[in-house]
Amino acid sequence: MAVFDNRHSRAVAYAKVILPLAALAMLATLFLFDRAPGTADSIPYARVDVETLAREQRLGNPTYGTVTEDGTAITFRANAVRPEAGESDVVNAARMTARFETPDGATLDLTADEGVIDGRARIAELGGSVDIVTSTGYRMTTDRIAAELDRSTVETTGAVQGSGPAGTLEAGRMILTQDASSGQYLLVFNAGVKLVYVPQK
């Protein structure tokens, strides 16, 4: 053991050993007794299911527009869309709306719980509960309606009911199409039409 001539030298020698040990003890305390997670000062983070996001690709509030060969402008909007599994040209939509505006200025507005747009087949289908409003005064409802994207043809796949300029109306089918001979756009009700006439006041 080394022999020291005075107290000062002895104190310096002890300090060289004690101070580094004290510093190590303080560092160990910081790591071992850190604050528990979940305190108010913890860094917030989002609880996100990354695998679900990667598997279910979604797009919020999209708008899709096209023009048919005869000049009808079609605009689709939805709260969200996602691609069909294994089908790159097919998308499924939630809370979908559609507007058809013919060259003569008439409009047809659709609002549905859900919808599907098939780009390859050039067709869109709206389903759930579908509300139909036309600029000519018809307000109808149906379960499902299909629209072609390359020509002005909109057709229900089942019965419709609602009201029109003449009164209340029920029909097994409704079609909006362009008349081949005159070029005019016609809204046709068929397959068992029931009209209750309500006189204008």
- Same domain? For 28 and 83 the reply is no
Report in angstroms the alpha-carbon separations of 13 from 2, 8, 40, 173: 10, 9, 45, 102
- Shared domain for 66 and 144, answered yes or no, is yes
Q: Answer whether residue 53 is part of any domain.
A: no
Residue 39 within a domain: no
Q: What is the pLDDT of residue 85?
A: 80
Whether the pLDDT of residue 40 is over 50: the answer is: no
In a domain, 160, yes or no: yes
| Residues 23 and 66 placed together within one structural domain of the fold | no
Q: What is the pTM of this model?
A: 0.70
Same domain, 97 and 186: yes
In this structure, is residue 46 part of a structural domain?
Answer: no
pLDDT at 42: 42
How many Cβ atoms from other residues are within 10 Å of residue 23's Cβ? Answer: 10
77: how many CB neighbours lie within 10 A of its CB? 18
Alpha helices, DSSP H, located in the chain: 7-32, 50-55
What is the domain range of residue 11?
1-33
Q: Is the pLDDT of residue 27 over 90?
A: no
Q: Are residues 28 and 73 in the same domain?
A: no
pLDDT > 70 in the chain, percent? 71
Nearest CA-CA partner of 99 in 177, 160, 157, 154: 154
Verify that 69 and 9 share a domain, yes or no: no
Top pLDDT among 161 and 23 is at 161
In a domain, 25, yes or no: yes
| Residue 163 clears pLDDT 50, i.e. is over it | yes
Quick: pLDDT tens for 92-129.
999 999 999 999 999 999 999 999 999 889 999 999 99
Taken in order 84, 154, 102, 78, is the CA torsion positive or negative? negative
Residue 97 sits in the same domain as residue 19? no
Instruction: Give the model's pLDDT for residue 24.
Output: 58
For residues 28 and 62, state if they share a domain.
no
Q: How many domains are contained in the chain?
A: 2
Q: What is the per-residue pLDDT for 15? A: 59
Report the first-to-last Cα separation within the chain, whole angstroms: 120
Domain contains 49: no
Indicate if 13 and 91 belong to the same structural domain.
no
Q: Are residues 25 and 95 in the same domain?
A: no
Does residue 12 have a pLDDT over 60?
no
Query: Is 102 found in the same domain as 20?
Result: no
Q: Looking at the structure, do residues 121 and 186 belong to the same domain, yes or no?
A: yes
The answer as to whether 26 is a domain residue is yes
Residue 105 falls inside a structural domain: yes
Neighbouring C-beta atoms of residue 78, cutoff 10 Å: 23
Tens of pLDDT, residues 49-93: 445 444 556 677 889 899 999 999 999 999 988 888 877 789 999
Of the ranges 110-114, 132-136, 197-201, which one carries the lowest mean pLDDT score?
Answer: 197-201
Q: CB 73: neighbour CB atoms within 10 A?
A: 14
Q: Residue 94: beta bridge partners?
A: 80, 114
Q: Is the dihedral of CA 45, 60, 94, 121 positive or negative?
A: negative
| CATH number of the CATH domain containing 173 | 2.60.450.10
